[in-house]
């Protein structure tokens, strides 16, 4: 029977998911949180597989959400520095919770499927139907 949990999530969670969802957002935040202010080129070096286009767009989205701030220095050569905002620090507990849960969840999946579980949920999971002749 139900446990009447009443989570009442009006799906405000979407707003946060949007911040964290991009493929590179979390790595970028990791860099900025642990290294402080970084230049565009430093970020590129720290995250070798990211393209300039991706780095730019993800940074712009984070900037829009007031998570990172962008300082443009008008000199030659051009120099743009990024850092996390004060506001971004409120994200930390959530990020930690997410990472803790993620780590445990991977273990949980291993217990269920063995070491060779697929990270991405398969289209047709191989779990057998549990049948019951209820009604």
Partner DNA sequence: CCGTATCCAAGTCGATACTG
Partner DNA sequence: CAGTATCGACTTGGATACGG
Q: Which positions from 4 through 43 interact with a second copy, judged by CB under 8 A?
A: 4-21, 26-27, 29-30, 33-37
Binder among 48, 49, 75, 116 for a second copy (CB under 8 A): 75
Q: In 3-state terms, what secondary structure has residue 30?
A: helix
Alpha carbon distance 119, 132 (integer Å): 30
12 makes contact with DNA (CB under 7 A): no
Report 66-105 residues binding DNA (CB under 7 A): 70, 72, 77-81
Residue of 19, 22, 39 lying closest to 92 (CA atoms): 19
Alpha carbon distance 104, 115 (integer Å): 14
Per CB under 7 A, residues contacting DNA are 22-24, 39-41, 49-54, 56-57, 59, 70, 72, 77-81, 120, 124
């Amino acid at each position: 029977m139900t446990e009447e949990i009443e989570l009442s999530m009006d799906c405000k969670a979407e707003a946060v998911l949007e911040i964290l969802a991009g493929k590179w957002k979390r790595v970028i935040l990791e860099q900025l949180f642990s290294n402080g202010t970084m230049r565009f080129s430093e970020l590129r070096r720290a995250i070798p597989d990211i393209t300039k286009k991706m780095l730019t767009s993800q940074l712009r989205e984070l900037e829009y959400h007031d998570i990172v701030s962008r300082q443009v220095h008008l000199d030659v050569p051009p120099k743009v520095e990024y850092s996390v905002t004060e506001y971004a620090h409120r994200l930390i507990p959530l990020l930690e919770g997410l990472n803790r849960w993620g780590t445990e969840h991977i273990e949980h999946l291993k217990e269920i499927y063995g070491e060779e579980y697929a990270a991405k949920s398969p289209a047709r999971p191989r779990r057998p139907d549990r049948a019951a002749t209820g009604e």
